[in-house]
Amino acid sequence: MSAEEKTIVIVGAGQAGGWAAQTLRGEGFGGNIVLIGDEAHRPYERPPLSKSVLAGEALPETTRLQKPEAFDALNVDWRPRVSATRIDRSAKQLHLSGGNVVGYDKLILCTGGRARKPGIPGSELPGVFTLRNLDDAAALGAALAPDKRLLVIGGGWIGLEVAATTRRKGLDVTVVEAMQRLCERTVPPEISGYLQRLHVSNGVRVELGTGIERLAQGADGTGLIATLVDGRTLACDVVLAGIGLIANDELAREAGLQCEGGIVVDPQCRSSDPNILAAGDVAVWHCERAGRRMRLESWQNAQEQGIAAARSALGMAVNHQPLPWFWSDQYGINLQIFGMPAPEHHRVVRGDMESDSFVVFFLDAGKVVAALGPNAARDLRFARRLIERGASVDAGQLADLQIPMSKL
């Protein structure tokens, strides 16, 4: 699609939408690009929101995808504080809040998700937060004075990163996780154990296998009282719920597109309507490495699928099958995960898991299919190469610290 009069509309001005716009221009698309964003901000990256931005160590503008002048140079019709309300597929038109309508030749849905709210009594009280966007980070950050007590509901990545950030500021922090271990959905048990030791040694109370039944105002009118399902109570001032993401797929669903907890797309990022594509947190697709349909809620996927969707919209050949890659920063430790570790994989440890730098490899039929570890970015980069090559590697050599990773 190179004709000048064509219009590509992107719904969602987050990381995926921002990369889609950047890529369309980068690939030479000279038509109209309309970028609909319900926030006031130009596209930005979310990872610092639970870390440096929340800590007040980085300014919000440091998270932006492009400098304002570079964004302006893309010549995008950016509509901030506007949401899409309806897709008229037969007319190829998008209806917007405020009553405007824009026509499209291709529509790219990068609507992301919203933070799940705790469905318990008291969750609407002041002092109870979720964290998804820049405004959330500003509101939560303003509530986090060093003498406050923070309760984190959910021992996943957002909750743990906020716990680490706030603990370093001196807050009293408790993490309550309903499952029997931290980050149960994404890491094997020994890494859950590592994360738990890391947080406990930094003074965080970790409560596993329990949940919060209700929240109430403190008796003296200040603070909050959380009641656990086992009847215990916990006094706190601020509550952060990090209990997952709900895909913003309503727009697509109401337009009759196939959705399964997100918008179902193929490796070309096309939905069940070939003129409508989707990318980022909202997209569900068949991940070959995981062997199943899934959403990949990650910085990497938002970027790479946003790029892939833009190319696909232009008729270029794409096959979005990234090697999943994820990282988390907590207490100065950088933990990275490549691939999709699974319980059935054979594990090989390189280094000492009691230390703060080691690598765990996950082997399937003698091939490295995933790897993770704290403070091991360089070794993991070599591990990524092993995974990408699908090479068979001797487990003894992987574990042997005398053999540099570069030689494997």
Name the residues that contact other proteins, by CB under 8 A: 19, 22, 45, 65-67, 70, 299, 303-304, 307, 325, 327, 334, 377-378, 381
Q: Which is nearer to other proteins, 95 or 381 (CB)?
A: 381
User: CB-wise, 104 or 338, nearer to other proteins?
Assistant: 338
Residue with Cβ nearer other proteins (64 or 289): 64
Q: Which is nearer to other proteins, 67 or 81 (CB)?
A: 67
Minimum Å distance from CB 336 to other proteins? 9
Q: Please state the closest distance from residue 281 (CB atom) to other proteins, in A.
A: 17
Cα angle: 310, vertex 322, 36; to 5 degrees: 30
Which segments within 154-295 are labelled E, that is strand? 172-177, 205-208, 212-217, 224-228, 233-236, 238-241, 245-247, 263-264, 276-278, 283-287, 292-294
Return the structure tokens found at 242: 């990090």
Q: Give the pair of three-digit tokens for residue 223.
A: 């603070």
Compute the least distance from the CB of residue 303 to other proteins, in Å. 6
Q: Are 235 and 149 in contact (CB under 8 A)?
A: yes
Q: How far is the CB of 74 from other proteins (least distance, A)?
A: 11
Tokens of residue 272, six digits = 């069940």
Amino acid at 105: D
Task: Enumerate residues 6+ apart whose C-beta is below 8 A from 197.
Answer: none
Q: For other proteins, give the closer residue by CB, 15 or 133.
A: 15
Cβ 47 to other proteins shortest distance, Å: 9
38, 380, 394 from 397: Cα distances, Å: 51, 15, 5
User: Would you say 140 or 376 has its CB closer to other proteins?
Assistant: 376
What φ, ψ does residue 290 adopt, rounded to 5°? -85, -20
Q: Which residue intervals of 133-254 are DSSP H helices?
A: 134-143, 157-168, 189-201, 250-254
Cβ 118 to other proteins shortest distance, Å: 32
